[in-house]
Every structure is written in C-alpha cells, then in structure tokens.
C-alpha cells in the first residue's frame, strides 16, 4: 500500500499567499471596476533591465546555432557565473571559493530542500513572525511535532520577535540545531546589525548549530553597520549557509535564478559525532535532484555583474526603496508604529488600535482598494500587524498613500 507523507496533511491546504488572492478575487467579482492597488505582494513590477535583456537575446541566439548550443549545465552552475559571484564577494573582502557556490532557480527551492540533507532529529528555530516557507518545510519534513493549543508546533523553537525586541529575533533559551535567519527581514523589514548578527554566529559556533541565512534582500542594505553577507562576521563560514537571489535585486522573479553558498568549512555531524562537510552533501543532492539552471538565465544573471548591470540594479533598488520610504513616512505621520522600510523593501506596521490583521486587510481592500499582507500569515506574533511593500510602481504607491491619508 503506497503511503503518504502524512506530515504534509498538517500544513494548510491553501498556501497563505493564495488565500489573499482568493479574497481579492471575491472582492473583484463584486466590484469589477475598482482600481485595486497591490501594496502587499513581494513581487517586482519594473521590467528587466537593459543589460539583462541584451544578455538574454544573445544567449538565445547562441542556443539557436549548432556551434554555440549548450545542453546540460554543470549541476552547480556555469563557471562564468560562479566566477562573477566569487569576485563580487571578494570585492567586499569576503573570500569564498568556487566550490562553495551553487547556482539555483531561486531562493525558495534551496530554503525548503536544505532540510533534506539534514538529519530528522534536528531542532529547528524560526522567528515568529517569519516567511512561512521555513515553518511549512519544517512541518512537511516531519520535524515539527504536534500542534499545540496556541497554534505553535511542539518541536519548533520560536524565536521571540515582537515589539519588545524591536521585531528582531532573540537568542533561544533552549538549545537548537538549525536556525533560519532572514536579514533584511521578510516580513518585518528589520535588518540585523553586525553586532546583532555576531551574537547568532557565536551562538552557532558555541553550540555546533548552523544558520540558514536568507539574504534575498541583501541588495537593499544601505546602513554601514548592517552586513550584506553573513560572512562579514568572523567564524560564519564554519556555521552559515547563505542563500542569495537575483529576484528582488534584479527583477528576476519571473526569470528564476539565485545561488547558495555552502562553505567547505561548514560542518554538521553524524549521530556518532563525526564531522560531515555540508558542502559535500549538498553537492550530492544537487547532482541527483537537479539538472541545473537554464543557460540563458545564467547568462542573464552574469550580465548583472557588469558595470552597467550594477548601475541598473542600483536604480531599481533605489526606485523600490523610495516607495518603501514614502510608505514608512506616511504611516508614521498617521501615528502608526512602523518597522523596516530603510534597508528593506518591506514596511511592517501595527494596525490602528491593534485590530486583527485579517480585519484590517478587509478594511484596506473594501474601503481603500489597497491590498496589504496580513501579519498573521507570518505567525502568531504577526497578529495585529500588516506588511506593505515598495514593489509597486511609484505612481500607484503615491495614489495608495493618498487614499489612506488621515484615515486612521
């Protein structure tokens, strides 16, 4: 009898973001002419930059000719791209080697799949609130235990991350093995400073734990004391996987490319306590579970490292950050408690009077035709909060903010 992985049945049938779409669609049916502004979703809106487009056309033509056609990519990615990535780190005085870089089709796959190379008995720590995939992947992989009365899972350690801590995660009181960290953070927009991040690296070093550092929003960092890479912290290469993406920095959400760094010094353990380099395990997974990333997409990613490509990236980031800054400013003027929006495209705010997230979601949708993401989607500690993003157009952002001016 073919058996199901019953852990899957413990996750919600509808993926949380699809739930938002469902409710928006219900509104649209009743209000077909409403001009809805999406200020909630983490998807970009600007078209692909010129250097990327040029590289794509060129690569397509290469694929159209027998002499320059490319079949299977090397499973870790093409050297031309990996070398650029290594060089970019080096320009920030971070030494990683080629063998530690794995090109992928975006951050999400690796964030989930990394669980497969890790033992089942690890205790996983996640912040609350947090990007839902960390928790869902933990549940689906059978590491969550049972759901308790407070909607939390018995085997997951939830890191305190609320108003009290400035929506930055606090070190756990109990011992944990794997810690998901995201900075700049989705959804709260907060970014960990060097001193704060060092605490986590030190914790991992002291406890033989590892950090899965989701740096998808790294390009949004501008403050000097906020690291763009966890490897800026001494010792991090021994304990941290860094997951990067071209999605939010270069508008690749529809192209699909990212990369993960598994330093060769990064060690996990067998039950007998033997050291196992995680890089080697990931290499085996990569060889057996993927056939690499599209050649033309890797060429597009390569183009983002050119001088022109970098200038285009900066312009995109500035565009989205200007939106985020506007949102942040206006919400503060409205007297709301606001986080993020500085080193991040995300603005996290407390609802007026702390009303429940879904209720305020409906207020924004039905009264102002604005879509926001309810904080409760990201965990219990997100209740009474909302996420806005700077990813809409400037014009839509301004219009949305005018709609809610002096309304709360």
Binding residues for a second copy restricted to 12-71, rule: CB under 8 A: 13, 15, 18, 43-48, 50, 53, 56-57, 60-61, 63-66, 69-71
**Least separation in angstroms between CB 45 and a second copy:** 7
Q: To which residue do tokens 């720590």 refer?
A: 125
Choice between 358 and 394, CB closer to a second copy: 394
The single residue among 150, 151, 223, 271 that binds a second copy, judged by CB under 8 A, is 271
Residues 68-107, mask of contacts with a second copy (x by CB under 8 A): -xxxxx-x-----------------------------xx-
As given in the structure block, the two tokens for residue 273 are 């306590």
Residue 236 found at the interface with a second copy (CB under 8 A): no
Residue 292 found at the interface with a second copy (CB under 8 A): yes
Choice between 70 and 403, CB closer to a second copy: 70
**Least separation in angstroms between CB 124 and a second copy:** 10
Residues 302-361 that bind a second copy (CB under 8 A): none
Q: To which residue do tokens 């209740």 refer?
A: 383
Give the torsion sign (CA, 76, 209, 161, 144).
positive
Give Cα separations from 325 to 100, 299, 313 (angstroms): 36, 33, 18
Residue 324 CA to residue 189 CA, distance in Å, equals 10
Residues 126-165 that bind a second copy (CB under 8 A): 132-133, 136-137, 140-141
CA angle 350, 10, 124 (to 5 degrees): 70
What does DSSP say about strands 124-128 and 178-182: parallel, antiparallel, or unpaired? Answer: parallel
**Least separation in angstroms between CB 246 and a second copy:** 12
Please classify residue 43 by burial: count the beta carbons closer than 10 Å to its beta carbon, then call 0-12 exposed, 13-18 middle and 19+ buried: middle
Give the torsion sign (CA, 106, 112, 114, 116).
negative
CA angle 355, 357, 361 (to 5 degrees): 105
Residues 179-208, mask of contacts with a second copy (x by CB under 8 A): ----------------------------xx
Choice between 85 and 204, CB closer to a second copy: 204
CA angle 81, 255, 103 (to 5 degrees): 35
The single residue among 9, 26, 34, 95 that binds a second copy, judged by CB under 8 A, is 9
Q: Could you tell me how many residues of this chain bind a second copy (CB under 8 A)?
A: 88
Choice between 283 and 352, CB closer to a second copy: 283
Residue 178 found at the interface with a second copy (CB under 8 A): yes
Choice between 24 and 281, CB closer to a second copy: 281
Residue 399 found at the interface with a second copy (CB under 8 A): no
Choice between 66 and 148, CB closer to a second copy: 66
**Least separation in angstroms between CB 140 and a second copy:** 7
Residue 377 found at the interface with a second copy (CB under 8 A): no
Q: Please provide the size of the chain in residues.
A: 408
Please classify residue 23 by burial: count the beta carbons closer than 10 Å to its beta carbon, then call 0-12 exposed, 13-18 middle and 19+ buried: middle
As given in the structure block, the two tokens for residue 213 are 């550092």
Candidates 96, 102, 92, 84; CA nearest to 301 is 84
Phi, psi (rounded to 5 degrees) for 267:
-115, 135
Choice between 86 and 301, CB closer to a second copy: 301
């Amino acid at each position: 009898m073919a058996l199901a992985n019953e852990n899957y049945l413990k996750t919600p049938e509808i993926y949380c973001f699809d739930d938002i779409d469902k409710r928006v669609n219900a509104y649209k049916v009743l209000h077909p002419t409403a001009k809805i502004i999406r200020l909630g979703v983490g998807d970009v809106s600007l078209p692909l930059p010129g250097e990327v487009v040029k590289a794509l056309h060129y690569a397509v033509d290469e694929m159209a000719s027998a002499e320059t056609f490319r079949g299977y990519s090397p499973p870790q990615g093409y050297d031309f791209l990996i070398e650029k990535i290594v060089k970019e780190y080096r320009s920030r005085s971070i030494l990683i080697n080629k063998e530690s870089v794995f090109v992928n089709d975006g951050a999400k796959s690796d964030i989930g799949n990394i669980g497969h190379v890790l033992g089942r008995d690890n205790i996983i720590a996640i912040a609350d609130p947090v990007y839902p995939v960390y928790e869902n992947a933990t549940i689906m992989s059978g590491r969550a235990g049972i759901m308790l009365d407070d909607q939390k899972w018995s085997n997951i350690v939830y890191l305190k991350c609320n108003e009290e801590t400035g929506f930055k995660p606090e070190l756990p009181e109990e011992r944990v093995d794997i810690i998901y960290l995201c900075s700049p953070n989705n959804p709260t927009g907060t970014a960990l400073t060097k001193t704060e991040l060092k605490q986590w690296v030190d914790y991992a070093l002291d406890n033989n734990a590892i950090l899965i550092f989701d740096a998808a929003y790294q390009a949004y960092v501008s403050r000097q004391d906020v690291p763009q890479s966890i490897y800026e912290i001494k010792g991090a290469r021994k304990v941290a996987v860094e997951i990067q993406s071209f999605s939010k920095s270069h508008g690749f959400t529809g192209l699909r490319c990212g990369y993960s760094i598994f330093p060769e010094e990064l060690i996990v353990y067998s039950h007998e306590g033997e050291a196992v380099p995680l890089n080697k395990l990931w290499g085996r997974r990569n060889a057996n579970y993927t056939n690499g990333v599209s050649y033309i997409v890797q060429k597009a990613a390569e183009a983002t490292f050119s001088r022109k490509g970098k200038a285009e990236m900066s312009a995109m980031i500035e565009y989205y950050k200007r939106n985020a800054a506007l949102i942040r400013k206006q919400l503060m003027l409205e007297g709301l408690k606001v986080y993020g929006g500085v080193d991040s495209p995300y603005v996290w705010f407390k609802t007026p009077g702390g009303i429940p997230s879904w209720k305020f979601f409906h207020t924004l949708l039905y009264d102002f035709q604005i879509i926001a993401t309810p904080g409760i989607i990201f965990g219990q500690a997100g209740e009474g909060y909302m996420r806005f993003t700077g990813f809409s157009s400037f014009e839509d952002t301004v219009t949305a903010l005018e709609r809610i001016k002096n309304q709360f």
